[in-house]
Amino acid sequence: MALDRWFPAKFSVLSDRLVTQNGIVIIGTLAARVMVFTGGSVALLVVLYSIHVFITFLLSQLARVRHWWAVRHQVAS
């Protein structure tokens, strides 16, 4: 639909699953490297996963606070 100009043109580079093919290849390659680096150690992979979840949650909460801080005067009015 992006090729027919029903959606913005940037959507024309996405696949049917709304991702770029290069992104899938890059993430798959990085995942394989992590598996090789850790030797498939489940204990280490769980620790890496928990760190990832914590960082992701922290960043999302910081973005919420930043947004709230920016619009706090608009809501009070």
Q: What is the pLDDT of residues 2-52, one digit of tens each?
A: 556 666 666 666 666 656 667 778 889 999 999 999 999 999 999 999 999
24-34 exposure pattern, b = at least 16 Cβ within 10 A, e = fewer: eeeeeeeeeee
Where does the pLDDT of residue 73 fall: very low under 50, low under 70, confident under 90, or very high at 90 and above? confident
Q: What is the pLDDT of residue 12?
A: 63
Measured at the CA of 72, the angle between CA 71 and CA 73, to 5 degrees, comes to 95
Q: Are 48 and 38 in contact (CB under 8 A)?
A: yes
Ranges of H-type helices in the chain? 21-38, 42-76
Of residues 77 and 24, the one with the higher pLDDT is 24
